[in-house]
Structure 1
């Protein structure tokens, strides 16, 4: 996308990469990132490698805020990547984010240029009455609390919300599209209301099932012995069922055979599971072991 759009510097959020590093990601681009948890948050900046030598300073403040200072043709440029807490997060977490962002801004000398590329998780709203100095008229929906925080920050730092100054096409205002349906997600402050919005959207987009879903079974640990035992148990069950239907005199023998095979299958399953998990544990630090874990997680999901 950066190649196609001719983007030299890109701010990214929710990278979910743990660590404080810089790495080449191919096609002549390098990623600077910071994260403390591989399951949530994380921020980063992607640069064309020709600009890497222009980097003077990297500030990794938290897994929600980081910045780069570059010198380009004698101009000092500060690029900040930010990821604000979502609507449902605690107020304390939101205030901590804005405090960190304030600190980064205050550390930048007057006269240096600053660009913030962030996911602020807020809506500044359509129209700009009373806020003409910091935003245009082309915001999205009604302003929420998080959007007000963005506007207040822009006024405090003498900045502008750039993407409100031009009209966006409809496809750039839509966050989900499938089968002719279009959804623009606007999360309210109350979690119960949010949950109901999600459920109602699910009903409209996906429909409602009968609820009689057959429980999936894990099969990643199956081996030939388990499969063979299960097949023989099924055949024995069919024979017993047939005997009960036609009233054959051999029904008791077939029932006994089925019960014995049923017990054998349980033993084979237990042995196969134990062996598979033991092998998995010994391979956890290898690439193959990682693939096994992902496969197991997908089946459980």
Structure 2
């Protein structure tokens, strides 16, 4: 069964093997870390031979612990170590810790054995399905004027149509004009959302940061990972700086617009929205009597 598991898959084997692997490795340095407990018996030798045959290692023996964190079985004053966790030797760099938690009894006489292992997921490029959306965030500046001019020049409704047909035709034309003017998203979920301060510089910096991160995750050479990690940190700093500059520029432009008379009502909208967010309750519903008192009983 163990040989049937592909080599590129992670494997953990844990259980009560009724074997004592001894305190020292003594001939089994590849699978025994030298931090065991007690004396070796025949079942323990069979377990070590099994680990050697399948290129496994016993995690319990690779972390130096006090005796209370090594003993997995206690009965009538006798303490032994019979429970083990084994994984492939090629995954040794992902091991973090392995010990017994005293007092956490799972079954009678056995103690809880815990191993901390990091498993890094592989990045898989796959196509995700989604719905393209109109980039309504571009409804500003020159594109706003262009959008207005296109709508004014179009004949959105015909007199001979009824109200439903007129509405459907108008909605289709407005949607098509918006797509042609503002563009549409790719429809792939998980992408960065285009906010009102988003620009091409930010998009380029974010894309560079994502490419650097993918290269870092795919690299398995430790020496190359050092250089890729520095490149990713640099791309991350540049992306953060670009986002900060874009936000500052956008907010500055917005504040300048708010000072004008035609933008005065927008200021009240912002204040009202912020006031609503500061409240603990989104809405308070109650019923008053004819004399204006709030009813609190059925």
Give the TM-score normalised by the residue count of structure 2.
Answer: 0.25
Give the TM-score normalised by the residue count of structure 1.
Answer: 0.25
Instruction: Please say which structure displays the higher CA radius of gyration.
Output: 2
Quick check: which one's strand share is greater? 1
